[in-house]
Structure 1
Amino acid sequence: MCASHREVAARRPRNTEQSQAQRLSWVKSSYSGGEGGECVEVAVSPGSVHIRDSKGTGRGFFTVSQATWSALSTTPVAVTEEH
């Protein structure tokens, strides 16, 4: 039986993830909030897209397939403003 990606990521040593993050080329979203908050950064590798919080780059990232990223990035989302 094969472990899920989440289970494998949970067992991966933290220093290995940090090392991988340093090797990736991260790009900040062009749809960042006006005050510099609510930003994500993405890095593309063969077959995968890695996503992290731009304000917490040392806190890790998660990985999705390129097909999943394509579906996520082309799906319209309702945006609400908090007052």
Structure 2
Amino acid sequence: MRELTAVQADDLYELITERAGRSVIMTSNRTPIDWYPLFPNPVVAESLLDRLINNSHQLFMNGASYRPHRRPGRVTDQDTTTTG
């Protein structure tokens, strides 16, 4: 995730504010604390993350990434096995 522009941050803030008290599913490859520097305005960041974090159920998944196994063009053991 990259730093948000002011417009993007405001749009996300507006979306989360309008959804207050209703369900939202968000996924990220960053922990909530890592989101703060992505916002150009720290007040918007604090307000938005406060709304997201305080009433949320968070699932943190640790372990090896599945991405390398699904990468297009990856050579697998099956590709290198010869029959003879």
Q: TM-score range by the shorter chain?
A: under 0.3
Between structure 1 and structure 2, the one with the greater Rg is 2
Normalized per residue, the structure richer in strand is 1
Specify which structure has the bigger relative contact order, considering alpha-carbon pairs within 8 angstroms and separated by 6 or more residues. 2
What TM-score do you get using the length of structure 2 for normalisation?
0.25
Higher relative helix content:
2
